Structure 1
Amino acid sequence: MAILRSLIAATALLGVAARAQVVGAPFGFAAGTTGGGDASPVAPADESELTEWLADDEPRVILIDKEFNFLGDQCVDCECCIPDSNTCGDAGQNAIEVGIGWCSDYPTTTCTYDNAGLDGLDVSPNKSIVGVGDAGVIRGKGLRLHGTSNIIVQNIHITELNPQYIWGGDGISLDGCDLIWIDHVKVSLVGRQMIVTGYETSGSVTISNSDLDGATDWSASCDGHHYWTVLALGEDDKVTFSNNYIHQTSGRAPKIGASSFWHVLNNYWSDNTGHAFDVSEGNALIEGNVFEDVNSAYTDKGAGSVFAVSSDDESTCSSALGRTCIPNLLTDSNATPVADDAVLSSFPADEEGEITILPVEEVAAYVLANAGVGKLSSTSSSTPVVASSSSVVPIPTSTPVSIPTFIPSPSSSYAAPARVETAIESTSTPTPSSVGSTPHPPSTCSSRRRRRHLHQ
């Protein structure tokens, strides 16, 4: 009987493995990422085994075929504070005291939170983390990709990281890494950033086909929209941000605060009561995206350089890049027209690989049909495919891929996020070197830069 049970279990695992492999190939700046490569897929039995396999030295294809729940170790009546940004009581976010001095200027209080969210799961090099169907959930912890490389994260849902509290946890944290592909991932109900990079270089990264869901009952903007969406602080990062669905947010979607380059294409922003782009440093080429009901899509405020393509910019792109850029589409949204030519001259196009851009009128439908978990198939790719090849814009480069701020608004709904920025950025207490929710040993970044990004 024991032998029969073992055979049944082995057969079931083989069936799961056949259905759960990395689908498609990484494109954009993360082209060439292989993750666990051709390692035999393995499904961890429990949270302990998942933690061990993620952090070991073996190349692995790790199947997330169920929910892994890390919740249960609560800190009861622990020290927290009430930041100025919380003007709505129980519907707002208080902050966990994590020992970095962030709470020093605010009234103290007590709160109960789960310890799991404060530290992410460490991921060592050469790993593919792949969800099976729509069953792959990591609850209570995020992923910590620090000092690692060659990682694929595909088709998993990360959720419930102390969403009531600032510093409650980051969904995916990158720092000192390279060759990272985050694809068909959903992040929801986090206390802090959904995705964050820095301060050490995060290298070549592609974030694609992912669902950043900001719906929450604890909002820094007091309106059920999550404020801390994407924060980019990595020096010299090169990020392709493509085909993602960013919705019910109120800020930092994304905030780019370091000398990096972001190529942002074919994403769908919906229902943002604050700001999408806040580029205080770095460069962002924004093309072929849809902004619907976004209070401030992008602006020329800040020291960073932005080229947000409009119909007037096609000739500029053609002369600088040798191709036509795709204008963005804004519906019931506000933006400051901004087309800084410095972005085009600094675009490392020869490092990005071949990509394909959908015409903007097809973006919303494509993203809604494909972004997030449970939307992979053995025949699908991770770059847009449409019926007529003439309706897409191919962007050839020297590295082909195998598969294809804030501006004040008259609306009072943006007042709370503005207070968040003011309250958090005005203090000068040093932050932890890690951009995760828990302090780590100091890195080589300057204290001046840490102070500037205290609001991380």
Structure 2
Amino acid sequence: MRKTVVRRGLAGFAAVAAATALTVASGGVAHAVGSPTGFGAGTTGGGNASPITVTSGSALVSAMKASGAAVIRVSGMVSFTGMQDVTSNKTIIGVGSGSGIQGGGGIDVDGATNVIIQNLNFRGGSDDLINVQDSSTKIWIDHNNFYDSADGALDIKRGSDYITVSWNKVQNHDKSFLLGHSDDNGSQDRGHLRVSYHHNWFAGSTQRHPRVRFGNPVHVYNNYYQGVTSYGVASTMEAGVLVEGNYFENTNRACDLGQGDSPAGRLVQRNNTLVSSGACAATGSVNAIPYSYTLESAATARTNVINGAGVGKVA
């Protein structure tokens, strides 16, 4: 598909958000708001299934594991232990700005397809906060806040594909977004791990925004990196990453090639802004982006991300 790039400001995005909002009801959003662009385009989650509201961790776990399409509204901060599975055709959405998961548990998207996770606060996980694995496809992770888990904020691995990660905020976190878990997993990961990361806000986080293995192309655009203490993006182990239109501010190193024991991947960088930040290392070529998308200037993206990323900004 030929790529079309259109530039549009905050007013344009507000109009799009208003036009694509599915349902907003008293007491919070009833269904997912908007629709994903990028590799996760076409993800509908639970669609227009009648929403159910859960107010406890046990009720959320039961609803996530049930078969069939469902829209699950999480009201308040709930807790459970361990990584708990969500099955296909689910929307999980927080009510208002004070809902989410805390106290050790995380969501495991394991071999599932067509899942939306939106408007949730994740904090205090004992493992990953969200784990997408085992050939999961058509996943949209949007407008969430991630804080202080023991491991990753969001890990995507083991052949998963066609995913969009948009408008999230990561704060005071070490290992943010991992894509591809092992240099030894190429037989499963090659030709997969295609993810779009856009309009995310990394505020005082450390590394992996994202750290990529094998995925090619991976598209990292119009994100805001603020006070990142190690590196922004790392391309490693056969990856191909396009990094464009991002705003790096007080970031130690904008982009790395290779990381730890992983060899360098390929990275193309263009139209990024670096303010008091280390360089964005780049080498080689990356497979073409196969979809149309809107690319803002880095400065416009920074403003839009500050105004629009995170919980409570979906409606």
- CA spacing shift, 1:336–1:126, aligned 2, 3 Å: closer
Greater strand share, structure number: 2
Q: Distance in 2 between matches of 1:146 and 1:44?
A: 22
- What is the deviation of 1:337? 4.3
2:263 paired with 1:307: no
**Max radius of gyration: which structure?**
1
Residues 336 and 150 of structure 1: is their aligned pair in 2 closer, same or farther, counting only changes over 3 Å? Answer: closer
The answer for the alignment partner of 1:150 in structure 2 is 114
Distance, in Å, in 1 between the alignment partners of 2:253 and 2:221 is 17
- Per the alignment, residue 233 of structure 2 pairs with 277
Q: What is the CA distance between 1:29 and its match in structure 2?
A: 0.6
1:229 is aligned, of 176, 185, 198, to: 176
Aligned partner of 1:125 in structure 2 is: 88
Q: Which residue of structure 2 lines up, in the alignment, with residue 188 of structure 1?
A: 147
Count how many residue pairs are aligned between Structure 1 and Structure 2.
275
Secondary structure (helix, strand or coil) at the match of 1:297 reads strand
Compute the TM-score of the two structures, normalised by the length of structure 2. 0.83
In the TM superposition, residue 247 of structure 1 has moved relative to its aligned partner by: 1.7
The CA deviation string for residues 81-109 of structure 1, in whole angstroms up to 9 with x for no partner, is xxxxxxxxxxxxxxxxxxxxxxxxxxxxx
Equivalent position of 1:94 in the other structure: none
Q: CA deviation at 1:46?
A: 2.3
Moved more, 267-276 or 229-238: 229-238
For 1:376 and 1:303, how far apart are their aligned partners in 2?
Answer: 37
> What's the CA shift string for 1:226-264, capped at 9, x where partnerless?
331111117111101000001212222221123442101
Q: What pairs up with 1:246-257 in 2 under 5 angstroms?
A: 246-257=202-213
Q: Distance in 1 between matches of 2:222 and 2:215?
A: 23
From 8, 22, 27, give the equivalent of 1:16: 27
State the partner residue of 1:210.
168
Give ranges in structure 2 of 5+ residues lacking alignment: 1-24, 182-188
CA shift, 1:45, in A, is 4.0
Contact 2:156 2:180 in 1 (8 A): yes
| Stretches of structure 1 lacking an aligned partner (at least 5 in a row) | 1-13, 71-115, 162-167, 216-225, 310-326, 378-456
Alignment of 1:78-227 (within 5 A): 116=81, 119-140=82-103, 141-161=105-125, 168-175=126-133, 176-198=135-157, 200-213=158-171, 215=172, 226-227=173-174
1:290 has 2:243 as partner: no
The one-letter code of the counterpart of 2:37 is: F
**Identity over aligned pairs, percent:** 29
Q: What aligned pairs does 1:402-417 form with structure 2 within 5 A after superposition?
A: none
**Do the aligned partners of 1:64 and 1:135 also contact (CA within 8 Å) in 2?**
no
Match of 2:218 among 262, 284, 290: 262
Question: Shift of the alpha carbon at 1:270?
Answer: 0.8
More helix by share: 1
Corresponding residue number in structure 1 for 2:14: none
8 Å contact from structure 2 (residues 195, 218) kept in 1 = yes
